[in-house]
Structure 1
């Protein structure tokens, strides 16, 4: 009996040893099953990026030919360089990359729709969308609400817009929403990254300053501070930076001048109507026994708002006199613009703009946009030093540092020199975004044998 039991134990040990010695084979399921059971990443609190490649879409604008002959958009420098940099960067991070150059707004929407379709079919482990173009923030009035005074209160919001080849725009928020669940179910609980190389300038406020002058700070001595990595350039070559913003360079046409006259007449009508509404609102405040409050700051804000609305000085003075004690209430009700999120940042979403709200982003000749240039340089530097592991959130912080400390505008115009631009990062990641490049490379090689993944490269640009 003891001999038989000993033989049984030895047999079990042999079987276990054979099983443990078998090679591990990873297979990408045709219906989107993950090769790792349960889809859990070995590192705690990390997105599972080891099992399937990511998809990267890049919309890049260099040339503009607006349908509106009165609209002029400057050409962007080095768009081809941007495409090469982003393709190289995100291929190394485990993505299949597809780019489109100079699309119209409709062509861009078709490209995004095709990309979304491939997301649903291929179920990538993450999505990256990069857009390089001109941009702006404009004010829209929405959600007019009824009010006891009889004067509706409107919500004024800043909305970020992106320009396309034909001069038409798309809202950044609408582009991002296309890939948010439930609109794109396959990306639920998966990271979605959006990089926007475009200005966030404000052109409908003549008193707004669209550039960032920066501040003087004390840096470490050169002996202790690491030397920044510079992009090689030819001797005596001068850097040229331009803004990724809508710029008018043509003289106004006769049609524009006529439209200007009509606009002035419209201002006069709006001035009278706004004055009537403000006086009606003041009357309601008084009859409702709303307490008056001395508020110099509110008075200044109301005065500035009336000035921006082009009220004549006599009318402005009359309104300010009637508004005494109610200035903040009136400003909040009629003029207070709410700077809303430029795009909906849902769960598992990251959005990185090349500049802060209301500020210009810059594009450098022969190098491309500042955000694109520094993103590529930072990832390359990290992977050259430590190719085993990339913590993307940490790298994006370093990208911001590079732009803040190592870049400022260099142009032929003295007044445009020395401006700064620092990226603005929004995210609602609930896990770390860690990439293991060598493992992602092996996963991509497996997928390259699958016709469904290869169809992604046949997608019409």
Structure 2
């Protein structure tokens, strides 16, 4: 096998594997996502371990994101051999009609100013035509956000298990009332129209293998966005807010700002109470009646791209309200497992095998307490070659290689001391 033909090639003199743009939304504010700060730490440490230059941001508005994507795709990637985009936020799927009248779901991500951006539009910035600097180079996208359709975000469908893999609700009832757990939450958004009441204490994430002490994230590492204020950019004309999509196939409109279904006078999902457990991140949904027909989700995957969603189409993405999102936690742990101190030096692991380990471990986990649902990440890719992260000649100053040389030096000194004594 010719390694040069079957593996993406990285410049031997590189100082970084590539550039990683990392975003965690709703670390504060009305739609705060408990554990989002931990998500940011996990993402940063994951890609630093892999040797990426990591550009961290939190609470990014739509216009800010457009500016960041424009800057990356047009100017910042000329000297990099790989690109990573990772975001942790609220999400959902909008339903649209195509030219043939079929229902098509478009995945969207909610930004900190309440605006939505289509995932397909994010991917479109990095096609071969629009980002020539990354042509024939791997582009990896990690999306921690729910994929539940807005038409299925009601209390009734939530209780019926819609949006969970098993489709069966097994939660217990006592005294005629549901006993809900607060251990799990999802990434669909606006859990109860107010702030979450979970603990502010973050999980203890080891930082022994990254370049600097990351027990806290400094302003130089993370660029927060002014609330509701963009940093420039014209946005994308195809992206819009959920408020613009209030008409169903039958022309029936619904405006349920108070989260009450007027027909049944019952409160709509989400109803999760506060607590220090797990969470989901659905963006605030609206009742559309009658239910939409069978739909499919359109997420275009372009050349040399990989997209990893935290959940399959039509399902919730789970997050622990203290420790952060499960997919991002496991991604960090698997990267730590495969690329331990000095692990890049002689590495021959295809990165797809690392991601498969993540999905395997998530498939063995249960969420939402007594409901015991299983959600497995979904990976879509058009990678033509193996992605093998190795050690560039100019990457010796990074801490994961420094620790290896430190160990070798210590062993050598110990041998010298032992030789003198004998």
Shorter chain as normaliser: what TM range?
A: 0.5 to 0.7
Change (3 A) 1:439 1:423: farther
Q: Which residue of 1 aligns with 2:151?
A: 204
Instruction: Note the C-alpha offset of 1:381.
Output: 1.4
Q: Which residue of 1 aligns with 2:356?
A: 397
Contact kept, 8 Å, 1:64 with 1:164, in 2: the verdict is: no
SS of the residue 2:102 aligns to: strand
Contact kept, 8 Å, 2:31 with 2:193, in 1: the verdict is: no
Q: Which residue of 2 aligns with 1:448?
A: none
Q: For 1:349-360, list aligned pairs within 5 A.
A: 349-360=305-316
Residue 328 (structure 2) pairs with residue 367 (structure 1): no
Q: Which residue of 2 aligns with 1:267?
A: 252
Q: Which residue of 1 aligns with 2:376?
A: 422
1:105 aligns with one of 62, 65, 81: 62
Residue 338 (structure 2) pairs with residue 382 (structure 1): yes
Q: Give, in whole Å, the separation in 1 of the partners of 2:9 and 2:396.
A: 15
Residue 70 (structure 2) pairs with residue 117 (structure 1): no
Q: Give, in whole Å, the separation in 1 of the partners of 2:317 and 2:393.
A: 35
Residue 301 (structure 2) pairs with residue 339 (structure 1): no
Q: Give, in whole Å, the separation in 2 of the partners of 1:361 and 1:109.
A: 24
Change (3 A) 1:440 1:210: farther
Q: Which residue of 2 aligns with 1:88?
A: 45
Q: Which range is displaced more, 390-399 or 83-92?
A: 83-92
Change (3 A) 1:440 1:42: farther
- Where does the alignment leave 5 or more consecutive residues of structure 1 unmatched? 1-40, 66-72, 144-152, 216-237, 252-261, 269-307, 312-334, 446-461
SS of the residue 2:93 aligns to: strand
Instruction: Note the C-alpha offset of 1:119.
Output: 3.6
SS of the residue 2:339 aligns to: helix
Q: For 1:38-437, list aligned pairs within 5 A.
A: 42=3, 44-51=5-12, 52=14, 53=16, 54-63=18-27, 74-122=31-79, 124-143=80-99, 153-205=100-152, 209-213=162-166, 240-247=183-190, 249-250=192-193, 267=252, 310=290, 337-341=294-298, 343-384=299-340, 387=343, 388-389=346-347, 390-410=349-369, 417-437=371-391
Instruction: Note the C-alpha offset of 1:266.
Output: 6.1
Instruction: Note the C-alpha offset of 1:87.
Output: 1.6
Contact kept, 8 Å, 2:147 with 2:317, in 1: the verdict is: yes
Q: Which residue of 1 aligns with 2:172?
A: none
Q: TM-score, normalised by structure 2?
A: 0.61
Instruction: Note the C-alpha offset of 1:121.
Output: 3.4
Q: Give, in whole Å, the separation in 1 of the partners of 2:375 and 2:353.
A: 19
Change (3 A) 1:438 1:126: closer
For residues 176-225 of structure 1, give each alpha carbon's deviation from its aligned partner in whole angstroms, at most 9, with x where no partner exists. 1101111000111000000000000122146751122389xxxxxxxxxx
- Where does the alignment leave 5 or more consecutive residues of structure 2 unmatched? 169-180, 195-246, 254-287, 400-422
For residues 364-419 of structure 1, give each alpha carbon's deviation from its aligned partner in whole angstroms, at most 9, with x where no partner exists. 13321111101001110122288131321000000001111034334xxx5xx422
Contact kept, 8 Å, 2:39 with 2:325, in 1: the verdict is: yes
Contact kept, 8 Å, 1:199 with 1:354, in 2: the verdict is: yes
Q: Which range is displaced more, 105-114 or 394-403?
A: 105-114
Larger Rg: 1
Q: TM-score, normalised by structure 1?
A: 0.56
Change (3 A) 1:440 1:370: farther
Q: Give, in whole Å, the separation in 2 of the partners of 1:250 and 1:86.
A: 27
Q: Give, in whole Å, the separation in 1 of the partners of 2:352 and 2:60.
A: 30
Q: Which residue of 1 aligns with 2:260?
A: none
Contact kept, 8 Å, 1:89 with 1:376, in 2: the verdict is: yes
Instruction: Note the C-alpha offset of 1:103.
Output: 1.0
Change (3 A) 1:63 1:94: closer
Change (3 A) 1:376 1:440: farther
SS of the residue 1:397 aligns to: helix
Change (3 A) 1:50 1:77: farther
Aligned residues: 287
**Higher helix proportion (structure 1 or 2):** 1
Q: Give, in whole Å, the separation in 1 of the partners of 2:134 and 2:188.
A: 32
Instruction: Note the C-alpha offset of 1:120.
Output: 4.3
Instruction: Note the C-alpha offset of 1:58.
Output: 0.7
Q: Give, in whole Å, the separation in 2 of the partners of 1:406 and 1:386.
A: 30
Contact kept, 8 Å, 1:211 with 1:359, in 2: the verdict is: yes
SS of the residue 2:364 aligns to: helix
Q: Give, in whole Å, the separation in 1 of the partners of 2:88 and 2:327.
A: 10
Contact kept, 8 Å, 2:92 with 2:146, in 1: the verdict is: yes
Q: Give, in whole Å, the separation in 2 of the partners of 1:203 and 1:369.
A: 21
